[in-house]
Amino acid sequence: MKTALTENETPAAGLPPRAVPRSARRFARNSSCALALLALMAAGCGRHKTPPAGEAAPLPAAAVRVQAVANEPYQSTEEVVGTVRAKLQASLEAKVSGRVLEMPVVAGQTMQAGDLIAALDVGEIQARLDQARAVREQAQRDRDRLANLLRQQAVTQAEFDATESRFRVADAGVAEAESMLGYARVTAPFAGVISRKLADVGDLASPGRPLAQLEDPTTLRFEMDVPEALLDRVKPGQKLALHIAGASGDITGVISEIAPMADPNSRTFRVKLDLPPGSGARLGQFGRAQVPVGEVTLPRVPASALVQRGQMELVFVVADRIAHLRLVKSGRRVGNEVMLVSGVNPGEQVVVDGAAALLDGQPVTVK
């Protein structure tokens, strides 16, 4: 039987129409569409140049500013830690025993000389004062009576002198009791700030037990413990650079005191430096002093050339208009420059502007 061709079916070339299967004709039609799509993609991709396989695209050139590494002398120092303290400070104690009745102060409160720190309950001293006053009043009456009798020549001069002596002893007893009663009020000996409050209302005050700590924040000094190996590097009147957290930049302190003997446990000597007024330091702050130990020559570059990436410090050295990455180790900063302990050589050209955006091996154009 003859099978008629369905609509959209065409015979294959060179074969009778009825000899071509339907699946073969569908495959031929799909293959021709796929070839046409590939041809279009190839034509579109051919418009853009791509690097050969395995090669990265070249980096664009970056405009930078460079500067030669200078080899300059550097004062090598050792850091010694210390604490900011007040030059004028006092531990306030009571000279008599008694229960604390009032203590109207708190830590950080500003005090003026004579302000009340604490008031004690000293009833026995008040009783002693009343007794001394009574004795003095009796001695005064006896003296006045014998003075009248002496003018009448009714008593001898020796009797009057004995009465006069008893009055003086009684008067001194009153003065002593009044002084003891005055110790019941603990007052600020100078203007300052309460740095520590060590007692409160109801506590028993006694000689030798501090009630509060008073310090003058206007006159500060830096106290540090210098190892015996560095003691010959410091002397009275010498100026040292100090770095204290919170202060604006480094502070220059002047050595005012050096302990004549070492601490037997730490083998260090206590050294005190006076701080200038308005230094910005505060009581109890931690700081570091730079003790000079010698002079060395190290490369110095602007601080803008140093790039921090994680824990690494690096600079970019320009050679043949290519930026080469160098790992470096920085030292002391001097103004807007930083010393480099290792990583670069004097005379090399380092990038000082635009280094943060560079990559190793990137072409550069020098401004």
- 163: domain CATH number is 1.10.287.470
| Residue 81 resides in a domain | no
What DSSP assignment string belongs to 93-160? Answer: E-SS-EEEEE----TT-EE-TT-EEEEEE-HHHHHHHHHHHHHHHHHHHHHHHHHHHHHTT-S-HHHH
| Residue 84 resides in a domain | no
Domain boundary among 133, 151, 182: 182
| Shared domain check, 361 and 301 | yes
* Residue 344, φ and ψ in degrees, nearest 5: -135, 165
| Residue 129 resides in a domain | yes
| Residue 41 resides in a domain | no
Domain boundary among 150, 182, 214: 182
What pTM was computed for the model? 0.58
Helix axes 123-151, 157-182, angle to 10 degrees: 160
Neighbours of 40 (CB within 10 A): 9
Domain boundary among 182, 217, 232: 182
| Residue 210 resides in a domain | no
* CATH number of the domain bearing residue 320: 2.40.420.20
| Residue 6 resides in a domain | no
Distance CA 127, CA 177 (A): 9
- Consecutive H or E run containing 169: helix 157-182
Please state the domain count of the chain: 2
| Residue 361 resides in a domain | yes
| Residue 177 resides in a domain | yes
Along the 367 residues of the chain, how does pLDDT read in single tens digits?
444 444 444 444 444 444 445 554 554 455 554 444 444 344 444 444 455 555 556 788 888 999 999 887 777 788 999 999 999 999 999 999 999 999 999 999 999 999 999 999 988 888 999 999 999 999 999 999 988 888 888 888 998 889 999 999 999 999 999 999 989 999 999 999 999 999 999 999 999 899 999 999 888 999 999 999 999 999 999 999 998 877 767 789 999 999 999 999 999 999 999 998 888 888 888 999 999 888 778 888 999 999 998 889 999 999 989 999 999 998 877 778 888 888 898 889 999 998 888 989 999 988 8
Structural domain containing residue 154: 123-182
Distance CA 128, CA 174 (A): 9
- Contact 21/9 with Cβ under 8 angstroms? no
